[in-house]
Structure 1
Amino acid sequence: MPRLGPTARRVLGLPDPGDWERRKQRKLGKQGQAAPAAVPQQAVNPWETAAQQLLEQRTAPTPVAPLPGTRPAEPAPTAPWATVEERSGSAFARRLGRGVLWTLVAAFALLGAKSVLIPKKAPDPVQSAAPAKTAPAYPADEARVTASRFARAYLAWDEKDPAARAAGLAAVLPEGADATMGWDGKGNQDVLAVEASTVTPAAQQQARVRVDVLVRPTTPATPPKPGTAPAPVLPAHWLGLEVPVVQASGRVIVTGPPGIVGVPTTGPKAPELAAPEADSAFGEQTTETITQFFTAYAAGDTETVTAPGTVVPPLPAGVSLVEVASWTADKGTGPDRTGTARVTWQMGGAQLEQTYRVELTRVASADAQRWQVAAVHGGTA
């Protein structure tokens, strides 16, 4: 059995064998008996000491019976433990070990109480969820530019200069593609305007781009038949073109021939928009201000009729004011007000009525207050 040293016994709180011996000596001293001989220092294990005593008893000579009338001698008591001198370092280690043990117990108790009194919050599923990876957006702007360049080259041709059309198409077609793109090399047609609009992405980095093109043929639409009068030349008109494109090697190119589609003749039905409530009294009060502004607007000098810091670019030459057909102020309060003006202009030998949204602001001077224009925008929005 391994022997425990004094330091280990004190850390674990076990009694010291020397304590047994001292208690025994104090007890014998009170009874008037002599103190037993000291146990050698090396016999510190009580079990070894007991075994040694048992061996000595077995090997000792048989005691002689006492004479009649005499009291048998009492055997001298032996101490079961060896005396070990306690050192100051051992006592300090024992106290330190107990202090560390109680500190750990207190710490675990506090952690357990915290988990009960302050439960851990469940993670927010929205914040804890990993952000979803989104595919990069299709380069719609580049697709519109490519489709517009293609449409301008594709629908403009001159039978006397076919290379010009081929060069324009080659810049936006794949390498080695047919630059004639189905043209038979006859006729003449000009492209006046190109407007790209909707981009519809498809699979494998492809897309379809809607382009509206204003064309003006310079030859009849169909060649004349023998013995008949030539067909008239069509005027300039819009036509739709849907162009297939694909993104490849960091660019957007046209993948093949497009398709001509129709152009809507009317727009969809407009939603019913609520008109702002009118303030007739304020409208009458500011009618002269609005008339002065549009007169100066047509003349190209609005500095005297606009609020300080407001800059309104003048109208182009050839536009003159016919009348301010109506002015309706919106309901409201405060130093900033808004209203709608309907104005008739004279231009190009004709009269044209238009609509404006006008913002007014109240300007105060030392002796008076007046309303002046702070901004003007075309349309009713």
Structure 2
Amino acid sequence: MNPWESAAEALKAEDRTAAATPSPPASTPEPAHETAAPWSTIDEKSGTAALRRLGRGVLWAVVGLAVITGVRAWIVPNHGTTPTQQSPAKTAPAYPTDAAQAVAGRFARVYLTWDEDHPDARAAALAAVLPDGADTAAGWDGHGYQDVLAVQPAAVTPTTQRQARVRVDVLIRTTEKEGTPAKGKTKATAPTTADHWIGLDVPVVQTAGGVIVTGEPGIVGVPAHGPKAPNLKTPDTDAAFGQQTAGTVTRFFKAYAGGDVDSVTAPGATIPPLPDGMTLVGVTSWSADAGNGDDRTGTAQVTWKVGGAQVEQTYRIELTRVASADAQRWQVAEISGGAA
């Protein structure tokens, strides 16, 4: 018999036997066959476990803090506490100092000028600087003669309601006209004049249209002397360089007095000539500041004859070294009055 045919017949007989055998109840599941696990267990490293435990500890700490302080305090800040950084306070706009000084200076010149022979001139001038409808007499009784020679607006002191007080220093000239002839005399006394400084406090107010004078001012005194000067540090000097350039400075002032400084000034320097009527007496002293390089500075004391008198003046001189193909020399590049 063919073995393959025998095997096929045996397989068919098994299939017929299995089909004839009744199936077990559906409620009784077939026991599961144990199979091997699809994974393998790996020992956890100690560092990883420590990090996990630390993370759990931090998480529980945050939960505990939220319970104590309240989650709402984290989300909505407490406005009752003072913030660590406060917003800058709003400041009022600066007072218009320049406009206040201009108005007060113009008013002071008109207010302190009067001529009893022409009273309407003062009233018309005051009307131009006072608010509409203000009294143009401004306290004057209509007598006397006075002129204003100079006006110097000074400090502006703001007060309230956009008002301010402007200090104005005024140089006035009062005139006493000819008096009646004394008994037994045929000629009247000559007019006399006197010049002196006075202070004037002018009240002003800022309006939508600018700054205006709000009322009558008050005459105040002028200090007899200024405040004490601070102790200023004088620059160190270079005696050798001062001696080396003394001739240069002297030649410059001689040319300066003569009105022709082009030959003694550095290329590109522009120094306006002195006014007429000044004659050089001499350079009293020249002191060069310590330093180095091609630009040096120093202080010169110079005596001039002007208006029939001799006056000593102080100048700051800037020298620059000018070099040519075969020589070099120092020339004046800039000059300014005063020791600063």
Q: Same fold (TM over 0.5)?
A: yes
Q: CA deviation at 1:285?
A: 0.5
Name the amino acid aligned to 2:264: V
Matched, 1:198 2:155: yes
Note the 1:328-343 alignment, pairs <5 A: 328-343=287-302
Matched, 1:157 2:114: yes
1:182-205 Cα offsets, whole Å, 9 max, x none, are 111111111111110110001100
Distance of 2:277 and 2:23 partners within structure 1: 148
Indicate which of 296, 319, 322 corresponds to 1:363.
322
Indicate which of 336, 344, 349 corresponds to 2:303.
344
2:336 aligns to what? 377
Contact conserved, 1:189 with 1:219, CA < 8 A, in 2? Answer: no
Distance of 2:84 and 2:327 partners within structure 1: 59
Matched, 1:211 2:160: no
Distance of 2:84 and 2:213 partners within structure 1: 43
Contact conserved, 2:279 with 2:306, CA < 8 A, in 1? Answer: yes
Distance of 2:252 and 2:18 partners within structure 1: 133
Q: CA deviation at 1:373?
A: 0.7
Matched, 1:174 2:123: no
1:290 aligns to what? 249
Aligned-partner SS, 2:201 = strand
Distance of 2:86 and 2:318 partners within structure 1: 48
Aligned-partner SS, 1:276 = coil
Matched, 1:148 2:97: no
Name the amino acid aligned to 2:294: P
Structure 1 stretches of 5 or more lacking a match? 1-31, 35-70, 81-108, 110-124
Name the amino acid aligned to 1:239: I
Distance of 1:78 and 1:33 partners within structure 2: 20
Distance 1:74 1:334, change over 3 A: closer
Name the amino acid aligned to 1:318: G
Aligned-residue RMSD, C-alpha: 3.2
Aligned-partner SS, 1:339 = strand
Contact conserved, 2:175 with 2:191, CA < 8 A, in 1? Answer: no
Note the 1:321-332 alignment, pairs <5 A: 321-332=280-291
Q: CA deviation at 1:167?
A: 1.8
Aligned-partner SS, 1:218 = strand
Contact conserved, 2:281 with 2:303, CA < 8 A, in 1? Answer: yes
1:115-173 Cα offsets, whole Å, 9 max, x none, are xxxxxxxxxx9997544322111011110111111111111011122221112222222
Note the 1:20-59 alignment, pairs <5 A: none
1:265 aligns to what? 224
1:53-87 Cα offsets, whole Å, 9 max, x none, are xxxxxxxxxxxxxxxxxx9x77542699xxxxxxx
Distance 1:282 1:126, change over 3 A: farther
1:320-351 Cα offsets, whole Å, 9 max, x none, are 21111111111111111111111111111221
Indicate which of 184, 197, 205 corresponds to 2:141.
184
Structure 1 consecutive aligned stretches of length 4 or more whose deviation exceeds 6 Å: 125-128, 229-232
Contact conserved, 1:206 with 1:246, CA < 8 A, in 2? Answer: yes
2:206 aligns to what? 247
TM-score of the superposed pair, with normalisation by structure 2: 0.72
Distance of 1:309 and 1:137 partners within structure 2: 42
Structure 2 stretches of 5 or more lacking a match? 1-16, 30-54, 56-81
Contact conserved, 1:318 with 1:347, CA < 8 A, in 2? Answer: yes
Contact conserved, 1:196 with 1:211, CA < 8 A, in 2? Answer: yes
Distance of 1:126 and 1:353 partners within structure 2: 63
Distance 1:257 1:230, change over 3 A: farther
Distance of 1:243 and 1:178 partners within structure 2: 16
Distance of 2:24 and 2:166 partners within structure 1: 121
Distance 1:126 1:217, change over 3 A: farther
Aligned-partner SS, 1:173 = coil
Name the amino acid aligned to 1:193: A
Contact conserved, 2:131 with 2:213, CA < 8 A, in 1? Answer: yes
Distance of 2:226 and 2:23 partners within structure 1: 132
1:259-279 Cα offsets, whole Å, 9 max, x none, are 101111211221222221221
Q: CA deviation at 1:370?
A: 0.6
TM-score of the superposed pair, with normalisation by structure 1: 0.64
1:132 aligns to what? 89
Contact conserved, 1:210 with 1:242, CA < 8 A, in 2? Answer: yes
Q: Which one has the bigger strand percentage?
A: 2
1:24 aligns to what? none
1:299 aligns to what? 258
Distance of 2:245 and 2:271 partners within structure 1: 19
Q: How many aligned residue pairs are there? A: 269
Distance of 2:18 and 2:154 partners within structure 1: 122
Identity of aligned residues (%): 63
Distance of 2:85 and 2:142 partners within structure 1: 64
1:94 aligns to what? none
